[in-house]
A and B are shown apart, each in its own frame.
Chain A
Amino acid sequence: MKIQFELNGAPTAVEATPMARLLDVLREDLRLTGTKEGCGEGECGACTVLIDGRAINSCLVPVVQVRGAKVQTVEGLARDGRLHPVQQAFVDHGGAQCGICTPGFVVAAAELLARDPQPDAITIREALAGNLCRCTGYQKIIDSVARTLSGDEEAAR
């Protein structure tokens, strides 16, 4: 069936079976491969996308559920060739190593920062507890989110 939704700000329509995983539709049909699969069962967070602003594991979502919704993937975070501030922070502060978890983390962190621009370490850890990373031990990920610059600081760079 034909499913319409907003993807990274642009209206999108795909032909897919309703129960197809949103993850597969993004990766295979729309060729947006920034969203990763680490487990396929809602445990690793590598497939995190924003659906109407909320961080969700796309491997658990049948595509039919996003009909009419706003879906944002890691590819939609950077604007006009400029990294989202949290992406820049991951680059600057060692938040990414092998990188397979990174898209999920930056998407989840972007959601957190949208509701709480200056989260403390505990809040960051709670918000990212659904994303697994095996490389960093999380400290540099926490630091990256905590040190993400506000819009003003970003402009002053």
Chain B
Amino acid sequence: MAGAGTTPDDPYIGRGFVRADGPAKVTGAALYVDDVRPRGCLYGATVRSPVARGRLKGLRRDPDFDWTDVVIATAADVPGENVIALMTDDQPVLAHDELRHVTEPVALVAAPTRDRALAAARHVEVLYEALEPLFDPLKAADNPIRIFGDDNIFSRLEMVHGDGLDGMAQAEAAGARLVRGSYAVGLQEQLYIEPQGMIAQPREDGGLTIFGSMQCPYYIVKALKRVLGHDRLNVVQAVTGGGFGGKEEYPSMVAAHAAVLALKTGRPIKLIYRRDEDLQATTKRHPAFMTYTTAVDPASGRILAADVDLLFDGGAYNTLSPVVLSRAILHALGPYAVPHARLNARMVATHTPPNGAFRGFGAPQVMFAAERHLDRVARAMGFDPVALRRTNLYRDGDVTPSGQRLFDVASLEVLDRALAAAEAPLPPSMVATRPGGGQAAGRRKAGRGLAIAWHGCGFTGNGEAALAGEADVSIDGHHVLIHTASTDIGQGTDSIFPAIVADVLGVDVQRVHNAPHDTADVPDSGPTVASRTAMVVGRVVEQAAHSLLDALRAEAQWPGAEDADFDTLLERRPSDAPLRVRARYEDAGAEWDPETYRGDAYPTYGWSCVVVDVEVDTDTGEVLYRRLVQATDVGKALNPVLAAGQLEGGALQGLGYATSEAVVLDDRGAMRNNRLTNYIIPTALDAPPMETILVEYPFAGGPFGAKGIGEIPHDVPAPAVAAAIEDATGAVLDRLPMTPEAVLDALEARETPAETPGAAR
């Protein structure tokens, strides 16, 4: 399997070639940030706000603690600007005036051992005057308690499609039925198994090297330039133990803290979060409150118009919230054609820890609502849920709410293929439950649910053209190096890019490597987010490989060079001068108006259908997963093993979102269940056997036709589970997570008089 040469007839792409970092990871040789200990390093720890809101009055060191060897840094030690540069400059590196959320960083300590640093941090008391906090997102807008701007709204978006609300009125007048429902989702933690961590190492030129766990090296460069007041820094990614968005923007904070301590002490600083601290302090998925009204034709089941209101809770600082809201509104109607719609969305501020990037980025929230709403329509109007979806799914030529016309739509194929696979019996080798089940078996009810997702791949609108991400390819002796800022966080970038280049050059993939993701060397390829790495940067890498061939041919003075293969060109090079070529993302620019949200919202879309089988324990409310089938359009599976693995991991994260992952906040807004004993992610026993069908509707703009697949698997497992619970028991759940208590409540509500069809809840 591995190591085979590549010829045009035997390419790597499309095969399950072995990942480049596999051996290092299975032997424990791969170096994550906590595995590295620079000579003379000190350990950092963070002193955090104990209150949701207050005026900072100072710090008090416990006089009984031994402070020898301990260095403390505060906002006054930030050499440049006290701000984490991202979208707006509202979030400080260290609080200096008002405390805006519990766990907000206030001071830093450094000490010779980790235990000493943690102990010292515990003995620094934050002095403050308590102020009244604002926690309720539903009351945040225009509240006299001010958090952001003059109305506590980080961002607001409105879209009108077709005739908007007039379309709704016309449909109603023509006999359409109005169905209204409200849906809500809570916080979710990314829970990468490796906590956040960063090392800052002073350089000889007075600058710093940052080394650590991250998705986006250039975010840290951008943030630290302002914090340091100069740009003598380079950022290097360590092997990173998962991100899921949680290491998109937050690492800038960790890096800034390590940097401040490194400058103050002149020593390397290692700053690794404890799990409980990571859970309480870092970003999570945004909670959302969503109301949908649709006008539905009673005969055909066509959705004729929709009115959608979205309210997202951003927490205390803006982070990337406006972009999350943007993706939410653009995906809010799910994969269904609706001729007239009005959509409203607001992102509000509260005094809770800031929410941020998490796989799906606003889409899982709205697609839970959209899919649950469709099930409500089916229930209220007597339609079969699958038939109703089939009626309304996008087809080729349909137009999205932003006015984008869709082509190569895989919606019906993913539906049919997932259904067909789910109809076949589970292969005996995959069965994951022991037969029997004893007493519990009698009170368990089995059910099946289905949901369908669409997901825009890459940045919104003209984002990619504006960013113009770059990638280099160079020759290193007999080997080829790829230089990008696109990190491997488990999804396989360090294996996928080399396979792309190996196929373009026609060489053994063992000779092609991703260079270390060090900003001193790699160009800015853009962040490793938004399902864009393989599709967008992969294409740039592909182009760079072609440019390398062109460059070799251009320097060759001999006849026939234009048809020669890579190795011949390499052998006959006129000199062994270094050769490095660069490619840049190019497109004509999408038709996109960021003011009106009209135009081509995304370069292309992926499609996915998830079918989940559950058993619901009607005594305990527990939901047991028995099987999950997904059929997902990936454009082209660059590596089917890695692609299926990423989709399966995303689906399980979605099942956790569905039932077990509840974040409970205390009266200060702090996560109360901040341990792995009480924030419950699925184990191998909780996870169902998973079957993954890769559907390939190629995207001409991606390498070999590939689309982005990183986020779509998280989009609709949760509504599929809700539908399965309803199928099994008749209980209707419209909020996440569907904990055992929530399921029991819903089972009980089932016995009370049925809700008036179509009434608001």
Contacts and interface: CB of A to CB of B under 8 A. Distances in A.
B728 interface: no
Interface string A44-85: 101000000000000000000000000001110110000100
A38 B677 CA distance: 12
Contacts of A135: 242, 490, 645-646, 649
Interface string A79-105: 000010001101111111111111100
A92 B18 contact: yes
B26 A132 contact: no
Nearest to A95: B26
B754 interface: no
Contacts of B25: 90, 96, 99, 102
A128 interface: yes
Contacts of A102: 25-26
Contacts of A39: 275, 675-676
A78 B19 CA distance: 18
A87 B27 contact: yes
B641 interface: yes
A100 B684 contact: no
B28 interface: yes
A93 to B, nearest CB: 7
B242 A139 contact: no
Contact of A134 (B191, B433, B684, B690): B191
Contacts of B650: 137
Given A73-B28, A92-B1, 19 more contacts: A36-B241, A37-B34, A77-B27, A87-B23, A97-B645, A98-B242, A99-B26, A122-B433, A125-B685, A126-B685, A131-B683, A133-B649, A134-B649, A135-B242, A136-B649, A137-B648, A137-B651, A139-B645, A140-B645
A116 B599 CA distance: 59
A129 B433 CA distance: 13
Contacts of A32: 28
Contacts of A46: 193
Contacts of B275: 38-41
Contacts of B193: 36, 38, 44, 46, 98, 100-101, 132-134
A100 B242 contact: yes
B28 A140 contact: no
Given A91-B23, A128-B684, A146 B28 contact: no
Interface string B647-663: 01111110000000000
B241 A99 contact: yes
B677 A91 contact: no
A97 B491 contact: yes
A87 B642 CA distance: 17
Q: Is the interface of A mostly helix, strand, loop or mixed?
A: loop
A34 interface: yes
Interface of B: 1, 16, 18-19, 21-32, 34-35, 37, 190-195, 239-244, 274-275, 429-434, 489-492, 641-642, 644-646, 648-653, 675-677, 681, 683-685, 687, 689-690, 692
Nearest to A33: B35
B42 to A, nearest CB: 15
B284 to A, nearest CB: 14
Given A40-B274, A94-B645, A140-B641, A83 B675 contact: no
A41 B19 contact: no
Nearest to B22: A91
Contact of B27 (A75, A121, A137): A75
Count chain B CB atoms within 10 A of each CB in A98, A101, A132, A146 and give the residue with the most: A98
Contact of B16 (A94, A100, A146): A94
A135 B191 CA distance: 10
A113 interface: no
B16 A98 contact: no
Interface of A: 27-28, 32-41, 43-44, 46, 73-75, 77-78, 83, 87-88, 90-103, 106, 120-122, 124-126, 128-142, 146
17 contacts: A27-B34, A32-B28, A36-B34, A37-B34, A39-B675, A41-B275, A41-B676, A73-B28, A78-B27, A87-B26, A97-B490, A99-B239, A100-B32, A135-B490, A139-B689, A140-B648, A146-B429
B681 A134 contact: yes
Contacts of A120: 429, 431
Contacts of B689: 121, 139
Nearest to B113: A28
Contacts of B489: 98
A139 B430 CA distance: 9
Contacts of A91: 18-19, 22-23, 26
A128 B682 CA distance: 12
Contacts of A28: 37
Nearest to B683: A129
A124 to B, nearest CB: 8
B163 to A, nearest CB: 43
A83 B22 CA distance: 11
B644 A129 contact: no
A88 B22 CA distance: 9
A88 to B, nearest CB: 8
A99 B35 CA distance: 13
Given A39-B676, A135-B649, A136-B648, A96 B681 contact: no
B676 A136 contact: no
A78 B649 CA distance: 27
A139 B649 CA distance: 9
Nearest to A87: B26
B18 A138 contact: no
B676 A98 contact: no
A132 B28 contact: no
Q: Which 3 A-B pairs give the minimum distances between C-beta atoms?
A: A34-B28, A100-B241, A98-B490
A37 to B, nearest CB: 7
A88 B429 CA distance: 21
Nearest to B21: A99
B27 A83 contact: yes
Nearest to A136: B649
Given A43-B675, A94-B645, A138 B27 contact: no
Count chain B CB atoms within 10 A of each CB in A37, A91, A94, A95 and give the residue with the most: A94
Nearest to A91: B22
Contact of B653 (A34, A131, A134): A134
Contacts of A126: 685
A141 B37 CA distance: 30
A11 B195 CA distance: 33
A141 B684 contact: yes
